[in-house]
Amino acid sequence: MSKIESGDSIKVHYEGRFEDGEVFDSSRERNEPIEFEAGSEQLIPGFSNGVIGMTVGDKKILTIPAAEGYGEHDPDRIQKAEMAMMPEGVKVGDRLQAQSGEHTVSVMVTEIDGDDVTLDANHPLAGKTLVFDIEIVA
């Protein structure tokens, strides 16, 4: 079997969890491995590059720091908005789409304080170390 090189198309089963063991995603639960190009920007760098050098059937635990995952949590991506600008019935935990120039940005409502709403545009996994149990299946 040849070792995976950057640019190879592969299929991987994975279970993603936080350092405390809480599982946040699993391809096995969907019974569908993910397919991607090793070393590409299709996935977070720590995952995409972490498979290079493995072969079909190999299993590995990848511990990915925030910088190689979804980035550090950026306080500049948290903003206040007026409640009057929000959809009716909005509540803490809701994910909304906001327009930023020509781009659409996903934000989470993290706080509602009277007429003010706090919106966080960071990825929900930003700032977290992620642990993946992976198996190369094809």
Q: Both 86 and 48 in a single domain?
A: no
- Cβ atoms within 10 Å, residue 76: 7
> Taking the model in full, what pTM does it have?
0.83
Q: Is residue 3 part of a domain?
A: no
Q: Both 16 and 50 in a single domain?
A: yes
**Average pLDDT of 50-69?**
97
Q: Is residue 2 part of a domain?
A: no
Instruction: List, in sequence order, every beta strand (DSSP E) within 3-113.
Output: 9-18, 23-26, 34-37, 59-64, 78-82, 95-100, 103-113
Q: Both 32 and 96 in a single domain?
A: no
DSSP annotation of 15: E
Q: Both 55 and 90 in a single domain?
A: no
Q: Both 67 and 131 in a single domain?
A: yes
Q: Both 64 and 23 in a single domain?
A: yes
Percentage of the chain with pLDDT > 90? 90
Q: Looking at the predicted structure, is the pLDDT value of residue 124 above 90? A: yes
CATH number (domain holding residue 21): 3.10.50.40
pLDDT score for 35? 97
pLDDT score for 132? 98
pLDDT tier at 59, thresholds 50, 70, 90: very high
pLDDT score for 1? 64
- Give the model confidence (pLDDT) of 29-47 as tens digits: 888 999 999 999 999 999 9
Q: Both 113 and 131 in a single domain?
A: no
Give the tokens for residue 42: 């299709």
Question: Domain range spanning residue 42?
Answer: 9-71+126-136
Q: Are 73 and 40 a contacting pair, CB within 8 Å?
A: no
